[in-house]
Amino acid sequence: MTGTGQLWVAGLGPGDQDLITPQVQAALAAATDVVGYFPYVERVPERPNLRRHASDNRQELARAQEALALAADGRQVVVVSSGDPGVFAMAAAVFEAIENGPSDWRALTVEVLPGISAMLAASARAGAPLGHDFCCLNLSDNLKPWSIIERRLQLAAEADLAMAFYNPRSKARPEGFARALATLRSVCEPERCVILARAVSTPEEQVTVTTLAEVVPEQVDMRTLVLIGSSQTRVLSRLTGDQPWVYTPRQYHSDVKSRRDI
Amino acid sequence: MTGTGQLWVAGLGPGDQDLITPQVQAALAAATDVVGYFPYVERVPERPNLRRHASDNRQELARAQEALALAADGRQVVVVSSGDPGVFAMAAAVFEAIENGPSDWRALTVEVLPGISAMLAASARAGAPLGHDFCCLNLSDNLKPWSIIERRLQLAAEADLAMAFYNPRSKARPEGFARALATLRSVCEPERCVILARAVSTPEEQVTVTTLAEVVPEQVDMRTLVLIGSSQTRVLSRLTGDQPWVYTPRQYHSDVKSRRDI
């Protein structure tokens, strides 16, 4: 192993280039190698002396190992994630590869560079639905049993947390989101606010404000971030006729007034 | 009301200027007025034709009303928050002020500009402790009863979520964090990983990796972001003698192997 290698795990944010931090831009400018899922690698412009290593979805561990081997070989490597690399993204896969890899990987300089997470970008577009206590759950049962997901949904609803859901509905297993809705409907009132935020900050952005009673699973795909309000979350109509603002107040009232303020 | 006013609610990130997005920098460059808690307003450089309106802590609602009145008067106003404005910060206060304010405020253009949250910056410095399902709780009982906080802590621990705590310990009410630890200790094992991340990305940054058994409340103040691992969270020693890396794996094992991997 040469001593000069370095690995950054960097968040590119949800899509808009103006949401990439200067810190991440500096790492990309210093890199010799960029490693990641191909649509994210494509967001990094080609330039001389930059090798781009694009791989397919679900190759997270192999991708992390490739990046670590490059860094151990003395290269300046950026692993790119969309959103924030620490939220259901590449940072955990890199440390998992280190734990199970050659011991000299533990001598590498590894830096995680935070990014604007999809969850916080979606929340900002809607108003401030995560303005009070909330949780962030991955609804994919690819790497954990559905029983754990169900238990977490149930307890989060009982705790009256707002919620953000990643990977709500895959093509391979489309039934998960319907099951999640059934669990929420067993605890929460039908008027509970639901926000479907698709492809936030990209040209395909679409944000829908609906309710637990009205939402149907087919409105959601893998590019959708789902936000669920708490019992306190409020929907504010606008004079402009635009989509309403949604926010969760800082104060907790145990006697909730009507949530829909028309 | 003149029709040209605009209100942005912008996140300045945790402290490092390189963590401010170009989107927020552009809003600050276009602003006629910057409104916020004084240490955040001081982070925006003075320039001609920029009025800076700094106010004290706990003036959130009055500050939001001042900003909305300026925007309604036709000015280009940025309300600044540290971290992300949607996480226990100014965005919720602005919408609360709109809900209870003059109806023409609902015709204003209001945009929330996300920032790097303290929680995700702290997580990045430690490794990837929030790499799987987690919750984000405000431990201040200034605006909600302690019973709600306690119930949420209990249910989040039962759900085996990683956790991020904002406002863990104020000078006015220092006993809250000790009570939170007691609740966690009644559910979680003593080896549960605890990260104390103080003033992340500033010159005073200090990150401590400890356990639920060992942490003492006096290690924490209002500038500390506290992260609690799940039962799955792992601590990786490094060959360099630096602070260990902490990460929560993407996969959920119900039979947990030893968490501390020395």
Of A131, A134, A135, the CB nearest to B91: A131
Of A112, A145, A252, the CB nearest to B128: A112
pLDDT tens digit string along A1-41?
555 789 999 999 999 999 999 999 999 999 999 999 999 99
Q: Are the Cβ atoms of A250 and B87 closer than 8 angstroms?
A: no
B175 vs A136, more confident: A136
**β-bridge mates for residue A197, sequence order:** A207, A225
Q: How confident is the model at residue A3, as a pLDDT?
A: 56
Mean pLDDT of B193-216: 98
Q: How confident is the model at residue A241, as a pLDDT?
A: 84
Residues of B in contact with A26 (CB under 8 A): 18
Query: CB count, 10 Å around CB of B50?
Result: 16
Of B20, B120, B144, the CB nearest to A251: B144
Q: How confident is the model at residue B257, as a pLDDT?
A: 45
Domain positions in chain A are 6-116, 119-261
Mean pLDDT of A156-178: 92
ipTM: 0.95
Tell me if A9 sits within 8 A of A68, measured CB to CB. no
Structure tokens at A35: 């490693």
Does the CB of A68 have a partner CB in chain B at under 8 Å?
no
Rounded Cα distance between B52 and B41, Å, is 7
As a whole number of Å, the end-to-end CA separation of chain B is: 64
Query: CB count, 10 Å around CB of B105?
Result: 23
Enumerate residues 160 to 179 of chain B having a beta carbon within 8 A of any beta carbon in chain A.
160-161
Predicted confidence band of residue B3 (pLDDT cuts 50, 70, 90)? low
Phi first, then psi, for residue A134 (nearest 5°) are -150, 170
For B173, residues 6+ apart whose C-beta sits below 8 A from its C-beta are: B140, B141, B142
pLDDT tens digit string along B10-63?
999 999 999 999 999 999 999 999 999 999 999 999 999 999 999 988 799 999
Structure tokens at B254: 């119900």
Of A22, A89, A156, the CB nearest to B18: A22
Does the CB of B146 have a partner CB in chain A at under 8 Å?
no
Q: How confident is the model at residue A18, as a pLDDT?
A: 98
Rounded Cα distance between B95 and B85, Å, is 12
Tell me if A162 sits within 8 A of A178, measured CB to CB. no
Query: CB count, 10 Å around CB of B10?
Result: 32
Query: How many helices (H) and strands (E) in chain B?
Result: 7, 14
Structure tokens at A53: 């290593």
Q: Are the Cβ atoms of B245 and A110 closer than 8 angstroms?
A: yes
DSSP string, A102-121: -GGGGGSEEEEE----HHHH
Q: Are the Cβ atoms of A239 and B87 closer than 8 angstroms?
A: no
Q: How confident is the model at residue A257, as a pLDDT?
A: 45
A90: closest chain B residue by CA = B131
Rounded Cα distance between A44 and A34, Å, is 8
What is the separation of C-alpha A49 from the centre of its chain, rounded to a whole number of angstroms?
A: 31
pLDDT score of A258 more than 80: no
Q: How confident is the model at residue B262, as a pLDDT?
A: 37
Q: How confident is the model at residue B236, as a pLDDT?
A: 97
Of A43-47, A197-201, A234-238, B239-243, give the lowest mean pLDDT range: B239-243
Mean pLDDT of B83-104: 97
Residue A150, CB half-sphere, CA atoms under 13 Å: how many?
Answer: 9
Residues of A in contact with B125 (CB under 8 A): 112
Architecture of domain B119-261: 2-Layer Sandwich (3.30)
pLDDT tens digit string along A79-106?
999 999 999 999 999 999 999 999 999 9
Class of domain A6-116: alpha beta
Q: Are the Cβ atoms of B95 and A23 closer than 8 angstroms?
A: no
Q: Are the Cβ atoms of A113 and B124 closer than 8 angstroms?
A: yes
pLDDT score of A73 more than 50: yes
Rounded Cα distance between B30 and B185, Å, is 50
